[in-house]
Structure 1
Amino acid sequence: MTVFAPDPLEPNRKLPLWYQVSQSLRASILGRAPQASLRLPTEEQLAAHYGVSVLTMRQALKELEVEGLITRHRRRGTFIAPDAASATPMRLLGSVDAVVAQQSGETTTVLDHGPARVPVPAELTEHFPGVTELVRYRRLRRDRASGEPVNWAENLLLPQVAEAITPAALERWPMTRVLRDVAGVRVGRIDNTVQARLADPRTAGLLRVPLLSPILHVTGVEYDQGGRVVDVARIHYRGDRFSFAVTVETPVGEASG
Protein backbone atom coordinates (compact mmCIF):
# COMPACT_ATOMS: atom_id res chain seq x y z
CA MET A 1 0.00 0.00 0.00
CA THR A 2 1.42 3.39 -1.03
CA VAL A 3 1.27 6.57 1.06
CA PHE A 4 -1.36 9.08 -0.07
CA ALA A 5 0.42 12.09 -1.60
CA PRO A 6 -1.71 15.06 -2.73
CA ASP A 7 -0.76 17.11 -5.76
CA PRO A 8 0.77 20.58 -5.25
CA LEU A 9 -1.39 23.72 -5.43
CA GLU A 10 -1.37 26.33 -8.19
CA PRO A 11 -2.77 29.41 -6.36
CA ASN A 12 -5.44 31.60 -7.99
CA ARG A 13 -5.85 35.03 -6.39
CA LYS A 14 -9.51 35.22 -7.47
CA LEU A 15 -10.63 32.39 -5.16
CA PRO A 16 -10.39 31.94 -1.38
CA LEU A 17 -7.31 29.95 -0.44
CA TRP A 18 -9.22 27.41 1.67
CA TYR A 19 -11.46 26.66 -1.32
CA GLN A 20 -8.49 26.16 -3.63
CA VAL A 21 -6.87 23.79 -1.13
CA SER A 22 -10.10 21.80 -0.67
CA GLN A 23 -10.57 21.40 -4.43
CA SER A 24 -6.92 20.43 -4.99
CA LEU A 25 -7.11 17.85 -2.21
CA ARG A 26 -10.48 16.67 -3.51
CA ALA A 27 -8.98 16.02 -6.96
CA SER A 28 -6.11 14.10 -5.39
CA ILE A 29 -8.51 11.97 -3.36
CA LEU A 30 -10.71 11.10 -6.35
CA GLY A 31 -7.70 10.45 -8.59
CA ARG A 32 -5.67 8.47 -6.06
CA ALA A 33 -4.07 5.14 -6.95
CA PRO A 34 -6.22 2.11 -6.00
CA GLN A 35 -3.56 0.84 -3.59
CA ALA A 36 -3.10 4.21 -1.86
CA SER A 37 -3.65 4.41 1.90
CA LEU A 38 -6.98 5.81 3.10
CA ARG A 39 -5.23 7.68 5.90
CA LEU A 40 -4.43 11.33 5.21
CA PRO A 41 -1.37 13.16 6.55
CA THR A 42 -1.95 15.32 9.63
CA GLU A 43 -3.33 18.85 9.40
CA GLU A 44 0.16 20.22 10.05
CA GLN A 45 1.72 18.08 7.33
CA LEU A 46 -0.95 19.01 4.80
CA ALA A 47 -0.66 22.71 5.69
CA ALA A 48 3.11 22.55 5.14
CA HIS A 49 2.60 20.69 1.84
CA TYR A 50 0.22 23.36 0.51
CA GLY A 51 2.06 26.29 2.10
CA VAL A 52 -0.97 27.50 4.06
CA SER A 53 -1.85 27.98 7.71
CA VAL A 54 -3.30 25.16 9.81
CA LEU A 55 -6.51 27.22 10.16
CA THR A 56 -6.87 27.39 6.36
CA MET A 57 -6.16 23.68 6.10
CA ARG A 58 -8.74 22.93 8.76
CA GLN A 59 -11.40 24.90 6.85
CA ALA A 60 -10.54 23.03 3.64
CA LEU A 61 -10.83 19.66 5.39
CA LYS A 62 -14.17 20.67 6.90
CA GLU A 63 -15.50 21.28 3.39
CA LEU A 64 -14.45 17.78 2.31
CA GLU A 65 -15.96 16.30 5.48
CA VAL A 66 -19.32 17.96 4.75
CA GLU A 67 -19.15 16.55 1.21
CA GLY A 68 -18.59 13.06 2.62
CA LEU A 69 -15.18 12.51 1.06
CA ILE A 70 -13.34 12.19 4.37
CA THR A 71 -14.04 11.25 7.98
CA ARG A 72 -12.20 12.70 10.96
CA HIS A 73 -11.64 10.91 14.25
CA ARG A 74 -10.21 12.42 17.39
CA ARG A 75 -6.76 10.96 18.17
CA ARG A 76 -6.98 8.55 15.23
CA GLY A 77 -6.65 10.99 12.34
CA THR A 78 -8.36 11.81 9.04
CA PHE A 79 -9.35 9.11 6.55
CA ILE A 80 -10.66 9.03 2.99
CA ALA A 81 -14.16 7.58 2.85
CA PRO A 82 -14.00 4.13 1.16
CA ASP A 83 -16.76 5.11 -1.30
CA ALA A 84 -15.33 8.58 -2.00
CA ALA A 85 -15.21 8.02 -5.75
CA SER A 86 -18.89 7.11 -6.14
CA ALA A 87 -21.57 9.68 -7.09
CA THR A 88 -19.63 12.65 -5.75
CA PRO A 89 -21.22 15.99 -6.74
CA MET A 90 -19.30 18.77 -8.45
CA ARG A 91 -18.96 21.73 -6.08
CA LEU A 92 -18.72 25.23 -7.55
CA LEU A 93 -18.01 28.48 -5.77
CA GLY A 94 -20.21 31.50 -6.33
CA SER A 95 -21.57 34.47 -4.42
CA VAL A 96 -24.98 35.23 -2.95
CA ASP A 97 -25.08 38.41 -5.01
CA ALA A 98 -24.59 36.33 -8.16
CA VAL A 99 -27.57 34.14 -7.26
CA VAL A 100 -29.77 37.20 -6.69
CA ALA A 101 -28.63 38.81 -9.96
CA GLN A 102 -29.41 35.68 -11.98
CA GLN A 103 -33.01 35.66 -10.73
CA SER A 104 -33.68 39.35 -11.35
CA GLY A 105 -35.04 38.71 -14.87
CA GLU A 106 -38.07 36.86 -13.53
CA THR A 107 -41.44 37.91 -12.14
CA THR A 108 -42.88 36.00 -9.19
CA THR A 109 -46.41 35.05 -8.17
CA VAL A 110 -47.07 33.73 -4.65
CA LEU A 111 -49.27 30.66 -5.04
CA ASP A 112 -50.39 30.29 -1.42
CA HIS A 113 -52.88 32.65 0.21
CA GLY A 114 -50.59 32.82 3.23
CA PRO A 115 -47.73 31.02 4.91
CA ALA A 116 -48.57 27.43 5.81
CA ARG A 117 -47.10 25.61 8.79
CA VAL A 118 -46.19 22.05 7.85
CA PRO A 119 -44.41 19.18 9.62
CA VAL A 120 -40.74 18.78 8.79
CA PRO A 121 -40.52 16.30 5.88
CA ALA A 122 -38.72 13.10 6.84
CA GLU A 123 -36.00 13.69 4.23
CA LEU A 124 -35.17 17.10 5.74
CA THR A 125 -34.98 16.22 9.44
CA GLU A 126 -31.16 16.15 9.32
CA HIS A 127 -31.19 19.83 8.33
CA PHE A 128 -33.61 20.90 11.09
CA PRO A 129 -32.67 19.00 14.28
CA GLY A 130 -35.14 19.54 17.10
CA VAL A 131 -37.61 21.38 14.84
CA THR A 132 -41.15 20.00 14.40
CA GLU A 133 -42.72 22.56 12.04
CA LEU A 134 -41.58 24.71 9.13
CA VAL A 135 -43.20 27.58 7.24
CA ARG A 136 -43.90 26.81 3.58
CA TYR A 137 -44.17 29.23 0.67
CA ARG A 138 -44.88 28.26 -2.93
CA ARG A 139 -44.16 30.60 -5.83
CA LEU A 140 -44.32 30.56 -9.63
CA ARG A 141 -41.64 32.41 -11.61
CA ARG A 142 -42.14 33.66 -15.15
CA ASP A 143 -39.75 35.14 -17.67
CA ARG A 144 -40.14 38.92 -17.43
CA ALA A 145 -40.01 39.41 -21.20
CA SER A 146 -42.17 36.56 -22.51
CA GLY A 147 -44.38 35.80 -19.52
CA GLU A 148 -43.67 32.08 -19.95
CA PRO A 149 -43.33 29.95 -16.78
CA VAL A 150 -39.70 29.25 -15.89
CA ASN A 151 -39.99 27.35 -12.61
CA TRP A 152 -42.04 26.91 -9.51
CA ALA A 153 -40.46 26.81 -6.08
CA GLU A 154 -41.35 25.53 -2.65
CA ASN A 155 -39.43 27.07 0.26
CA LEU A 156 -39.41 25.55 3.74
CA LEU A 157 -38.16 27.99 6.36
CA LEU A 158 -37.59 28.11 10.10
CA PRO A 159 -40.68 29.74 11.67
CA GLN A 160 -38.63 32.39 13.49
CA VAL A 161 -36.99 33.36 10.20
CA ALA A 162 -40.30 33.55 8.32
CA GLU A 163 -41.95 35.93 10.82
CA ALA A 164 -40.73 39.08 9.06
CA ILE A 165 -41.44 37.89 5.51
CA THR A 166 -44.37 39.40 3.60
CA PRO A 167 -46.05 38.31 0.32
CA ALA A 168 -45.05 41.63 -1.21
CA ALA A 169 -41.39 40.92 -0.52
CA LEU A 170 -41.72 37.42 -1.98
CA GLU A 171 -43.23 38.82 -5.19
CA ARG A 172 -40.57 41.50 -5.48
CA TRP A 173 -37.34 39.61 -4.72
CA PRO A 174 -35.79 36.12 -4.82
CA MET A 175 -35.93 34.28 -1.49
CA THR A 176 -32.19 34.71 -0.94
CA ARG A 177 -32.57 38.48 -0.99
CA VAL A 178 -35.74 38.31 1.13
CA LEU A 179 -33.85 36.37 3.78
CA ARG A 180 -30.96 38.79 3.71
CA ASP A 181 -32.73 42.15 3.39
CA VAL A 182 -36.12 41.50 5.03
CA ALA A 183 -35.55 38.73 7.57
CA GLY A 184 -32.06 39.96 8.48
CA VAL A 185 -30.36 36.60 7.89
CA ARG A 186 -26.61 36.77 7.35
CA VAL A 187 -26.41 34.20 4.56
CA GLY A 188 -23.31 32.03 4.81
CA ARG A 189 -23.65 29.61 1.91
CA ILE A 190 -26.09 27.79 -0.35
CA ASP A 191 -25.63 24.13 -1.35
CA ASN A 192 -27.45 23.31 -4.61
CA THR A 193 -28.12 19.84 -5.98
CA VAL A 194 -29.50 19.43 -9.52
CA GLN A 195 -31.36 16.27 -10.59
CA ALA A 196 -33.29 15.23 -13.69
CA ARG A 197 -36.91 14.23 -13.01
CA LEU A 198 -40.28 13.79 -14.76
CA ALA A 199 -43.03 16.36 -14.37
CA ASP A 200 -45.78 15.35 -11.95
CA PRO A 201 -49.35 16.69 -12.43
CA ARG A 202 -48.78 19.84 -10.31
CA THR A 203 -45.51 20.70 -12.05
CA ALA A 204 -46.90 19.97 -15.51
CA GLY A 205 -49.86 22.27 -14.90
CA LEU A 206 -47.86 25.14 -13.44
CA LEU A 207 -45.06 25.04 -16.01
CA ARG A 208 -47.36 24.31 -18.99
CA VAL A 209 -45.50 21.18 -20.04
CA PRO A 210 -46.77 17.66 -20.82
CA LEU A 211 -47.16 15.24 -17.93
CA LEU A 212 -43.97 13.19 -17.35
CA SER A 213 -41.89 15.50 -19.55
CA PRO A 214 -38.27 16.07 -18.41
CA ILE A 215 -37.67 18.79 -15.83
CA LEU A 216 -34.74 19.77 -13.66
CA HIS A 217 -35.22 19.62 -9.91
CA VAL A 218 -32.93 21.81 -7.80
CA THR A 219 -32.66 21.47 -4.04
CA GLY A 220 -31.04 24.49 -2.39
CA VAL A 221 -30.04 24.34 1.27
CA GLU A 222 -29.37 27.81 2.65
CA TYR A 223 -27.20 28.32 5.74
CA ASP A 224 -26.64 31.39 7.87
CA GLN A 225 -23.11 32.38 8.84
CA GLY A 226 -23.40 30.32 12.02
CA GLY A 227 -23.92 27.14 10.00
CA ARG A 228 -27.64 26.83 10.77
CA VAL A 229 -30.00 25.80 7.96
CA VAL A 230 -32.63 28.54 7.60
CA ASP A 231 -34.29 27.55 4.32
CA VAL A 232 -34.57 24.58 1.97
CA ALA A 233 -35.79 25.43 -1.53
CA ARG A 234 -37.14 22.79 -3.91
CA ILE A 235 -37.31 24.31 -7.38
CA HIS A 236 -38.77 22.69 -10.50
CA TYR A 237 -37.40 24.09 -13.78
CA ARG A 238 -38.73 23.57 -17.26
CA GLY A 239 -36.03 21.71 -19.14
CA ASP A 240 -36.22 24.14 -22.08
CA ARG A 241 -35.90 27.22 -19.83
CA PHE A 242 -32.85 26.24 -17.81
CA SER A 243 -29.16 26.22 -18.68
CA PHE A 244 -26.10 25.56 -16.58
CA ALA A 245 -22.80 27.25 -17.49
CA VAL A 246 -19.45 26.82 -15.76
CA THR A 247 -16.29 28.80 -16.37
CA VAL A 248 -13.04 27.09 -15.38
CA GLU A 249 -9.79 29.03 -15.31
CA THR A 250 -6.41 27.31 -15.50
CA PRO A 251 -3.10 28.75 -14.29
CA VAL A 252 -1.00 30.42 -16.95
CA GLY A 253 1.02 27.85 -18.92
CA GLU A 254 -1.10 24.85 -17.90
CA ALA A 255 -2.27 22.76 -20.82
CA SER A 256 -5.84 21.60 -21.16
CA GLY A 257 -7.01 18.22 -22.31
Structure 2
Amino acid sequence: MSGFFAPDSLVLNRKLPLWYQVSQSLRASILGRPASAPLRLPTEDTLAGHYGVSVLTMRQALKELETEGLISRHRRHGTFIEPAALRGAPVRLLGSVDAIVAQQSGERATLLGPGPATVPVPAELAEHFPGTAEVVRYRRLRFDEAGEPVNWAENHVLPELADRIDVTDLESWPMVKVLRDRVGVRISRITDTVEARLAQPETAALLRVPLLSPILHYTGIVYDESGRVVDVARIRYRGDRFSFTVTMEAPG
Protein backbone atom coordinates (compact mmCIF):
# COMPACT_ATOMS: atom_id res chain seq x y z
CA MET A 1 0.00 0.00 0.00
CA SER A 2 1.89 2.98 -1.28
CA GLY A 3 2.40 5.71 1.30
CA PHE A 4 0.83 3.68 4.08
CA PHE A 5 2.78 2.62 7.14
CA ALA A 6 0.97 -0.53 8.26
CA PRO A 7 3.13 -3.66 8.71
CA ASP A 8 3.69 -5.75 5.61
CA SER A 9 1.98 -8.71 7.26
CA LEU A 10 0.06 -9.60 10.38
CA VAL A 11 -0.01 -13.09 11.89
CA LEU A 12 -3.57 -13.49 13.14
CA ASN A 13 -4.30 -15.42 16.32
CA ARG A 14 -7.42 -17.58 16.00
CA LYS A 15 -8.11 -17.19 19.73
CA LEU A 16 -8.88 -13.46 19.37
CA PRO A 17 -11.48 -11.73 17.17
CA LEU A 18 -10.04 -10.69 13.83
CA TRP A 19 -11.45 -7.16 14.02
CA TYR A 20 -9.69 -6.63 17.35
CA GLN A 21 -6.31 -7.78 16.06
CA VAL A 22 -6.60 -5.66 12.94
CA SER A 23 -7.69 -2.59 14.93
CA GLN A 24 -4.74 -2.97 17.29
CA SER A 25 -2.30 -3.32 14.39
CA LEU A 26 -3.70 -0.20 12.75
CA ARG A 27 -3.72 1.58 16.10
CA ALA A 28 -0.02 0.87 16.63
CA SER A 29 0.74 2.13 13.13
CA ILE A 30 -1.22 5.34 13.67
CA LEU A 31 0.37 6.12 17.02
CA GLY A 32 3.86 5.27 15.76
CA ARG A 33 3.55 6.99 12.39
CA PRO A 34 6.33 9.22 11.11
CA ALA A 35 5.60 12.92 10.80
CA SER A 36 5.64 12.64 7.00
CA ALA A 37 2.99 9.89 6.86
CA PRO A 38 -0.23 10.77 5.03
CA LEU A 39 -3.35 11.36 7.10
CA ARG A 40 -5.67 9.67 4.63
CA LEU A 41 -5.98 5.90 4.96
CA PRO A 42 -6.48 3.50 2.05
CA THR A 43 -10.00 2.34 1.25
CA GLU A 44 -11.74 -0.38 3.26
CA ASP A 45 -11.31 -2.80 0.34
CA THR A 46 -7.58 -2.10 0.12
CA LEU A 47 -7.06 -2.48 3.86
CA ALA A 48 -9.13 -5.67 3.95
CA GLY A 49 -7.01 -7.14 1.16
CA HIS A 50 -3.80 -6.12 2.91
CA TYR A 51 -4.80 -7.89 6.14
CA GLY A 52 -6.55 -10.80 4.46
CA VAL A 53 -9.89 -10.21 6.17
CA SER A 54 -13.40 -9.42 5.00
CA VAL A 55 -14.60 -5.88 4.40
CA LEU A 56 -17.08 -6.32 7.29
CA THR A 57 -14.22 -7.25 9.64
CA MET A 58 -12.22 -4.24 8.46
CA ARG A 59 -15.24 -1.99 8.92
CA GLN A 60 -15.62 -3.15 12.53
CA ALA A 61 -11.91 -2.54 13.19
CA LEU A 62 -12.16 0.98 11.78
CA LYS A 63 -15.29 1.66 13.84
CA GLU A 64 -13.32 0.81 16.99
CA LEU A 65 -10.60 3.30 16.06
CA GLU A 66 -13.21 5.93 15.24
CA THR A 67 -14.83 5.43 18.65
CA GLU A 68 -11.42 5.91 20.25
CA GLY A 69 -10.97 9.19 18.37
CA LEU A 70 -7.96 8.12 16.32
CA ILE A 71 -9.67 8.40 12.94
CA SER A 72 -12.65 10.11 11.33
CA ARG A 73 -14.68 8.72 8.45
CA HIS A 74 -16.32 10.92 5.84
CA ARG A 75 -18.74 9.55 3.30
CA ARG A 76 -17.46 9.90 -0.27
CA HIS A 77 -14.25 11.48 1.01
CA GLY A 78 -12.51 8.64 2.86
CA THR A 79 -11.02 7.80 6.25
CA PHE A 80 -8.52 10.15 7.88
CA ILE A 81 -6.21 9.99 10.88
CA GLU A 82 -7.10 12.66 13.41
CA PRO A 83 -4.18 15.13 13.59
CA ALA A 84 -4.56 15.21 17.38
CA ALA A 85 -4.03 11.43 17.67
CA LEU A 86 -1.04 11.24 19.97
CA ARG A 87 1.25 8.43 21.01
CA GLY A 88 -0.03 8.78 24.56
CA ALA A 89 -3.55 7.60 23.77
CA PRO A 90 -4.80 4.88 26.17
CA VAL A 91 -4.04 1.23 25.40
CA ARG A 92 -7.05 -1.07 25.07
CA LEU A 93 -6.75 -4.69 26.11
CA LEU A 94 -9.09 -7.53 25.23
CA GLY A 95 -10.26 -9.95 27.89
CA SER A 96 -13.31 -12.02 28.67
CA VAL A 97 -16.37 -11.03 30.68
CA ASP A 98 -15.56 -13.93 33.01
CA ALA A 99 -12.12 -12.42 33.67
CA ILE A 100 -13.70 -9.10 34.65
CA VAL A 101 -16.23 -10.84 36.89
CA ALA A 102 -13.44 -12.78 38.60
CA GLN A 103 -11.40 -9.62 39.16
CA GLN A 104 -14.32 -7.83 40.82
CA SER A 105 -15.55 -10.78 42.87
CA GLY A 106 -14.38 -12.01 46.25
CA GLU A 107 -14.88 -8.70 48.04
CA ARG A 108 -17.61 -7.92 50.56
CA ALA A 109 -19.63 -4.85 49.60
CA THR A 110 -21.91 -2.53 51.54
CA LEU A 111 -24.51 -0.36 49.86
CA LEU A 112 -23.98 3.35 50.48
CA GLY A 113 -26.89 5.60 51.30
CA PRO A 114 -30.52 4.51 51.44
CA GLY A 115 -30.14 2.30 48.35
CA PRO A 116 -30.57 2.63 44.60
CA ALA A 117 -31.62 6.08 43.41
CA THR A 118 -33.18 7.19 40.13
CA VAL A 119 -31.13 10.16 38.92
CA PRO A 120 -30.78 12.23 35.73
CA VAL A 121 -28.14 10.83 33.40
CA PRO A 122 -24.87 12.57 34.42
CA ALA A 123 -23.64 14.92 31.71
CA GLU A 124 -20.36 13.05 31.35
CA LEU A 125 -22.24 9.80 30.68
CA ALA A 126 -24.88 11.21 28.32
CA GLU A 127 -23.11 9.90 25.20
CA HIS A 128 -23.54 6.34 26.50
CA PHE A 129 -27.29 6.68 27.15
CA PRO A 130 -28.73 8.45 24.10
CA GLY A 131 -32.45 9.10 24.41
CA THR A 132 -32.46 8.15 28.10
CA ALA A 133 -33.31 10.85 30.64
CA GLU A 134 -32.76 8.88 33.86
CA VAL A 135 -30.73 5.95 35.13
CA VAL A 136 -30.65 4.07 38.41
CA ARG A 137 -27.49 4.66 40.44
CA TYR A 138 -26.01 2.13 42.84
CA ARG A 139 -23.17 3.07 45.21
CA ARG A 140 -21.16 0.44 47.09
CA LEU A 141 -18.09 0.31 49.29
CA ARG A 142 -16.00 -2.87 49.07
CA PHE A 143 -13.81 -4.33 51.81
CA ASP A 144 -11.09 -6.96 51.89
CA GLU A 145 -11.06 -9.94 54.26
CA ALA A 146 -9.43 -7.83 56.97
CA GLY A 147 -12.22 -5.25 56.83
CA GLU A 148 -10.17 -2.57 55.08
CA PRO A 149 -11.86 -0.57 52.30
CA VAL A 150 -10.31 -1.29 48.92
CA ASN A 151 -12.62 0.51 46.49
CA TRP A 152 -15.97 2.18 46.10
CA ALA A 153 -18.15 1.83 43.06
CA GLU A 154 -20.94 3.67 41.28
CA ASN A 155 -23.04 1.87 38.69
CA HIS A 156 -25.49 3.64 36.38
CA VAL A 157 -27.99 1.11 35.03
CA LEU A 158 -30.94 1.38 32.63
CA PRO A 159 -34.17 1.66 34.69
CA GLU A 160 -35.93 -1.26 33.00
CA LEU A 161 -33.08 -3.54 34.08
CA ALA A 162 -32.76 -2.07 37.57
CA ASP A 163 -36.37 -3.07 38.27
CA ARG A 164 -35.23 -6.72 38.12
CA ILE A 165 -32.12 -6.40 40.33
CA ASP A 166 -32.14 -7.80 43.86
CA VAL A 167 -29.86 -5.43 45.78
CA THR A 168 -28.80 -8.18 48.18
CA ASP A 169 -26.96 -9.83 45.26
CA LEU A 170 -24.77 -6.73 45.03
CA GLU A 171 -23.33 -7.39 48.47
CA SER A 172 -21.27 -10.26 47.07
CA TRP A 173 -21.48 -10.07 43.27
CA PRO A 174 -20.25 -7.41 40.83
CA MET A 175 -22.96 -5.69 38.80
CA VAL A 176 -21.92 -7.34 35.54
CA LYS A 177 -22.49 -10.79 37.06
CA VAL A 178 -25.88 -9.75 38.43
CA LEU A 179 -26.95 -8.39 35.04
CA ARG A 180 -25.77 -11.48 33.21
CA ASP A 181 -26.70 -14.30 35.60
CA ARG A 182 -29.71 -12.88 37.46
CA VAL A 183 -31.32 -10.40 35.09
CA GLY A 184 -30.49 -12.37 31.95
CA VAL A 185 -28.75 -9.63 29.94
CA ARG A 186 -26.74 -11.08 27.05
CA ILE A 187 -23.51 -9.10 27.43
CA SER A 188 -21.46 -8.75 24.26
CA ARG A 189 -18.49 -6.71 25.47
CA ILE A 190 -17.11 -4.44 28.17
CA THR A 191 -14.79 -1.51 27.49
CA ASP A 192 -12.44 -0.86 30.41
CA THR A 193 -10.38 2.25 31.11
CA VAL A 194 -8.04 2.64 34.10
CA GLU A 195 -6.61 6.08 34.93
CA ALA A 196 -4.44 7.53 37.68
CA ARG A 197 -6.22 10.28 39.64
CA LEU A 198 -6.06 12.08 42.98
CA ALA A 199 -8.46 11.25 45.81
CA GLN A 200 -11.19 13.87 46.19
CA PRO A 201 -12.87 14.45 49.60
CA GLU A 202 -15.59 11.77 49.29
CA THR A 203 -13.18 9.15 47.96
CA ALA A 204 -10.54 9.97 50.57
CA ALA A 205 -13.08 9.60 53.38
CA LEU A 206 -14.56 6.34 52.10
CA LEU A 207 -11.22 4.67 51.33
CA ARG A 208 -9.48 6.08 54.43
CA VAL A 209 -6.63 7.63 52.47
CA PRO A 210 -5.17 11.15 52.58
CA LEU A 211 -6.85 13.83 50.51
CA LEU A 212 -5.31 14.07 47.00
CA SER A 213 -3.39 10.81 47.44
CA PRO A 214 -3.05 8.65 44.28
CA ILE A 215 -5.94 6.36 43.39
CA LEU A 216 -6.86 4.32 40.32
CA HIS A 217 -10.09 5.25 38.59
CA TYR A 218 -11.74 2.45 36.61
CA THR A 219 -14.54 2.98 34.10
CA GLY A 220 -16.35 -0.05 32.67
CA ILE A 221 -18.92 0.37 29.89
CA VAL A 222 -21.12 -2.72 29.49
CA TYR A 223 -22.86 -3.43 26.16
CA ASP A 224 -25.60 -5.94 25.44
CA GLU A 225 -25.78 -8.00 22.25
CA SER A 226 -27.59 -5.21 20.41
CA GLY A 227 -24.74 -2.77 21.12
CA ARG A 228 -26.76 -0.84 23.70
CA VAL A 229 -25.00 0.39 26.87
CA VAL A 230 -26.77 -1.18 29.85
CA ASP A 231 -24.42 -0.16 32.66
CA VAL A 232 -21.55 2.25 33.25
CA ALA A 233 -19.41 1.44 36.29
CA ARG A 234 -17.01 3.90 37.89
CA ILE A 235 -14.80 2.37 40.57
CA ARG A 236 -12.17 4.18 42.68
CA TYR A 237 -9.40 1.90 43.95
CA ARG A 238 -6.89 2.63 46.66
CA GLY A 239 -3.57 2.98 44.90
CA ASP A 240 -1.77 0.92 47.53
CA ARG A 241 -4.22 -1.99 47.36
CA PHE A 242 -4.65 -2.59 43.64
CA SER A 243 -2.47 -4.08 40.92
CA PHE A 244 -3.20 -4.53 37.22
CA THR A 245 -1.70 -7.59 35.56
CA VAL A 246 -2.13 -8.53 31.92
CA THR A 247 -1.02 -11.78 30.26
CA MET A 248 -0.58 -11.59 26.48
CA GLU A 249 -0.38 -14.62 24.20
CA ALA A 250 1.99 -14.50 21.23
CA PRO A 251 0.53 -15.88 18.02
CA GLY A 252 1.69 -19.41 17.28
1:97 aligns to 2:98 (yes or no)? yes
CA distance in 1 between partners of 2:19 and 2:201 (Å): 44
* Alignment match, 1:61: 62
Count of aligned pairs: 250
TM-score normalised per structure 2: 0.93
Query: 1:213-228 maps to which residues of 2 (within 5 A)?
Result: 213-228=213-228
CA distance in 2 between partners of 1:64 and 1:213 (Å): 33
State the SS of the aligned residue for 1:241: coil
- Paired residue type of 1:58: R
* Alignment match, 1:255: none
* Alignment match, 1:84: 85
CA distance in 2 between partners of 1:224 and 1:251 (Å): 29
- Paired residue type of 1:77: G
User: What's the C-alpha RMSD, in Å, of the aligned pairs?
Assistant: 1.6
* Alignment match, 2:30: 29
* Alignment match, 2:155: 155
User: 1:9-34 CA distances to partner (integer Å, 9 max, x unpaired)?
Assistant: 12223211111111111111112221
Give 1:96 deviation, angstroms.
Answer: 0.5
Give 1:92 deviation, angstroms.
Answer: 0.2
Question: Unpaired segments of 5 or more residues in structure 1?
Answer: 253-257
Query: 1:42-191 maps to which residues of 2 (within 5 A)?
Result: 42-85=43-86, 87-143=88-144, 145-191=145-191
- Paired residue type of 1:21: V
Aligned residues with identical type, % of pairs: 71
**For the Cα contact (< 8 Å) 2:32–2:87, is it kept in 1?**
no
CA distance in 2 between partners of 1:20 and 1:50 (Å): 10
CA distance in 2 between partners of 1:157 and 1:87 (Å): 31
User: 1:210-240 CA distances to partner (integer Å, 9 max, x unpaired)?
Assistant: 2222211112221112111111111110111
**For the Cα contact (< 8 Å) 1:112–1:137, is it kept in 2?**
no
CA distance in 2 between partners of 1:233 and 1:250 (Å): 31
* Alignment match, 1:211: 211
State the SS of the aligned residue for 1:248: coil
